[in-house]
Amino acid sequence: MFKKIILISLMSLPMLIFAQFQIQGKVNNKNTAENLEGASLQLVGTSAFSISNNEGKFVFKNIPRGAYILSVSYLGYAPYEQQLNLTEDQDLNIQLKPRVVLSDEIIVSAIRASDNSPATFFELNKREIQENNHGKDLPFILNTTPSLVVTSDAGTGVGYTNFSIRGTDISRINVTINGIPMNDAESHSVYFVDLPDLATSLDNIQIQRGVGTSSNGAAAFGASVNLQTKHLNQYPYAGMQSSIGSYNTFRNSVSFGTGLLKNKMAFDGRLSKINSDGYIDRSAADLKSIYFSAGYYGKNDILKFTLLSGSEQTYQAWYGIPKVRLNNDEQGMLDLASDNWWDTETTNNLLNSNSRTYNYYTYDNEIDNYQQDYYQLHYSHFFSSEFQISTALFYTLGKGYYEQFKTDRKFEDYLFEEIVVGGETINLTDLIQQKWLDNHFYGITASLTYQTGKMESILGGAITQYDGDHFGEVIWAEFAGDNSIRSPWYLNTGLKTDGNIFAKTNYKLSNNLLAYIDLQYRFINYSIEGTHDDLRDISQTHNFNFFNPKAGLFYQFNNKNQAYTSFAIANREPSRGNYRDADADYQPKPERLYDFELGYNHINTRFSASVNLYFMNYKDQLVATGKINNVGDAIMTNVAKSYRSGIELSGTFNLNEKLDWMANFTFSQNKILDFVQYIDDWDNWNQQAIELGTTNILLSPDKIGSSTISYRPVKNLSLSLISKFVGRQFVDNTSNLYNSIDPYFANDLSISYQINPKAFKSIELSLLISNIFSEEYETYGWAYNYIYNGQPKVMDGYFPMAPLNFLFGVNIHF
C-alpha cells in the first residue's frame, strides 16, 4: 500500500513551470544607509527566500510572472513588506527602519535553529498552527510533521495524548515553552493534557530532529520541540472559538489583546474549556486552561510576564485493550481472566464489552486529577545591533492525584493493624486509594548574543531545582477499624538540581560556507528520600557531569540549493522510575547518543524538497528487557549497543494557484544488537533468558509518511485531504509479530470557509472529519510476556482510534 501511494503521488506530478524573472537589490539602514548583512527575505506564500550578503545584496532568480508580497526581517529592525507585480526583472533598494519596540523573537533566539544552521528542523507558524487547531490536543496539530507519530488513550485526540519522533518517546524529547523546560524533571515526560488548548496561545513551533541545538532542561535525546507563545500584536483584537463534535466533544475559548498601548504596554489573555466523553468506554475528559501575558515593549527592552495554567480531570484509560478482546477470541479472554485470577465482574466486563472500546477500569471515580501552573518573567535588552541579552525567571507548580479502587488488599501493605470482629481476624479489605504528586520547579535562564556580519555567538546557561513529594493515601476502606484513613502509607521526596552552561558560534568561513560549533556542560545532583508504595526504602543520591558537543557545516550553493552536515553527542541521566524500580545492588547507567546528520534542501517558488540522512548510535540505552527486581516489578536495563538510522524526505509542491501538495516520508531501521529477553516463569517462580540477537526497538515504525493536498476552488474556501501512514510497530523489544501494531493508513478531511461581515474582522467556519474511511487501527500498545502451565503467554493492551468522527468549529475575530 505504502509503495503504491508513493508511486501514484509521483506519477501525478505535472511538469514544473520554469520561472522567467529575477528580483535583486540591496538592504540597508534607512537612517544611516549602512548595508545590512544577513537580512532574511521571502516571497510570502512561496518557498523562495534569500539572505543579504556582506554588501547588503540579495537575489531571487527564475521567479514566475505574477503578484507577490516581499517580506524582509532583520533583528533590531521593523518588519518590511512590499507588493510586487512581476512582469519584468526588478532591482530594489530596501531601507529598513530600526525598531520602535523590541521583538519577542529575542526571547527564544538562544535555543532556536536558524535558516543557516546545520540542523534538521521543521517550523509551524501561527497561521499553520491555527489552521490545524480544531480542538484536539497539541500532538495532533503536529501529526503531519516529519517522522512523528501521535497517540491517544481515549481514541479521539482529546485527553491523554502524546507523540514520538523517529521512534523516540516524549521522555527523550526536550520540550520548552519560551525557552523554559516543560519536561518533568524526574520522569522526563511532558503531559500536554495539563495545558489544554495550548495551541490557541502559540505563535510558532520549531521541531528539531536529532540532538539539535543547545536547550535547557531534559536531554534532547532524539528531538527537541520549542514552543513560543503569542508575540506582540500591535493592534487590539478579540476572538471566540467554539467547536462541537462526536462523542460529546465541546471546546469553547475566548481570547483578547489590547495591542500596544501608549505606555508601551500590551496585555493578552485566553480562557478555554474542553469536554469530551472519548471513544473508549469511560474515557471522559474535563479540561480547563487560562493564558495571560503582560509586557512592556521598549525600543531596547522587553519585560514580559506570562501565566499558563491548566487543570484536567480524565477517567483512566491507561490499560488499553487486550488483543484477545480486539480479535473477539473468547477462549483467549477466558484464559487471560483465569491466569490473572480475575473475579466474575471483571471477567464479564471483558467478555461483554465492545471489542474496540473496552476499558478494564469500571470504578465510577477511576480518575486522574491534576493542575499545573507556569509562571514566567522574561527580560531582554538590546545593547546594540551586535549585543543582546535575554534572561528569565520561572516557577512551575503542579499538584494532583489519581484515584483507584482496589480489592482484597493486605493490611500490612498499607501499614494497617489487623482488626478482630466477632472473634474473626480481618487482614484483607477492599479500599480506595489516591496516589499524589506535589511538586515545585523553579530556576533562571540567561543568554548573551553577539552578532556581526560574519559571526553569531551565544553564551548562555540555566540553573533549576525540582522539589517533589510522592505519597499515597487510603480515603476509604471496607474494613478499617481504628486504622487512620487519609494518612500517607508511603512518602518519598525528590530533589534535583540541574544546571548547564553553553557556548555556540555560527561563523561564516566564506560567502557560501558556515561553520557551527556548540559546546554544553551540564551538571545534575539528584536525591530521593523515603519509601515507595511497596514500602521499600528507595533513598539514594546521584551526581552527573555531562559534556555535550555539537559541530557542523552549512553550505549555500545558491539561493535555491543548500547542504549541511553535523555531528553531536548527547548524554541522558536515568529517570526516577529507572532508579526507583532497580534493586539496591544494580544502578542503571546514563545513556549516550552519537548523532550524525547529513541533509540537502532545494527551494524555489513552485517546488521545495529536502532529504536528510541520519544515524543515531546509542551506548547503554535503557530499554525494557523483561527483567524484574527482587519484588517482581519490571525494570529498565542498559543495552550495550543500539541504533536508529534512516532517510527523511519532504517536499512542497505548488501545482498552481489553487492546488498545493505537501508530503514527507521516513524510511528507517531501529535496532538493538545482541538483545536478551527475560521471561517470567510463573511455574517455577524464576526467569528464563533467551538470546534473540538483533531485534527492533519497540514503538519505532520503519516507515512513516504524511500527505496534505490542499485545494482552494474559490476565494476563502479551502479543502484539505490529510493522510497518514505508519508502518508496523512492535510493542516490546522481541520482534515477535504477535506483539505488534499493524500498519495503518488513515485519512482526514478538513474544510474551512471564511466570511468577512461588516460587524467583524472575520468569521471562519471549519469542519474536520477524522478517519473518513473508518479505518480500524491502533496507535500505541504494551505487552508483558510470561510462561504459565508450560505455555508462553502474553498480557497486553492496545489503544484504538475512533472510526469516522467530526469536529465543527466557528472562529469569530473582532
In DSSP notation, 686-708 reads: EEEEEEEEEEEPTT--SEEEEEE
More confident residue, 529 or 605: 529
Q: Considering the chain, what percentage of its residues have pLDDT values greater than 70?
A: 96
Q: How confident is the model at residue 1 (pLDDT cuts 50, 70, 90)?
A: very low
The whole-angstrom separation of Cα 666 and Cα 649 is 6
Q: Considering the chain, what percentage of its residues have pLDDT values greater than 90?
A: 77
For 723-770, how does the pLDDT look when each residue is reduced to its tens digit (9 = 90+)? 999 999 999 999 999 999 999 999 999 999 999 888 888 999 999 999
Q: What is the mean pLDDT of residues 531-548?
A: 96
Per-residue pLDDT, 4? 42
More confident residue, 578 or 53: 578
- In terms of DSSP bridges, do strands 703-711 and 659-681 run parallel, antiparallel, or are they unpaired? antiparallel
- The least confident of 461-475, 580-594, 771-785 is 580-594
Per-residue pLDDT, 490? 97
DSSP one-letter code for 233: P
487 CB contacts (<8 Å, ≥6 apart)?
Answer: 473, 474
Per-residue pLDDT, 178? 94
More confident residue, 300 or 310: 310
Per-residue pLDDT, 17? 38
In this model, does residue 583 exceed pLDDT 90? Answer: no
Q: How confident is the model at residue 47 (pLDDT cuts 50, 70, 90)?
A: low
In this model, does residue 452 exceed pLDDT 50? Answer: yes
The whole-angstrom separation of Cα 609 and Cα 117 is 17
- Angle at which helix 344-352 crosses helix 330-339, to 10 degrees, equals 160
In this model, does residue 559 exceed pLDDT 80? Answer: no
User: Residue 352: enclosing H or E segment and its boundaries?
Assistant: helix 344-352
Per-residue pLDDT, 49? 72
Beta carbons of 70 and 43 less than 8 angstroms apart: yes
Q: What is the overall mean pLDDT for the chain?
A: 92
More confident residue, 82 or 808: 808
473 CB contacts (<8 Å, ≥6 apart)?
Answer: 433, 434, 436, 485, 486, 487, 488, 489
Q: Where does residue 683 fall: left (phi above 0), alpha (psi -120 to 50 degrees), or beta otherwise?
A: alpha
Per-residue pLDDT, 258? 96
More confident residue, 451 or 668: 668
Helix (H) and strand (E) counts in the chain: 7, 43
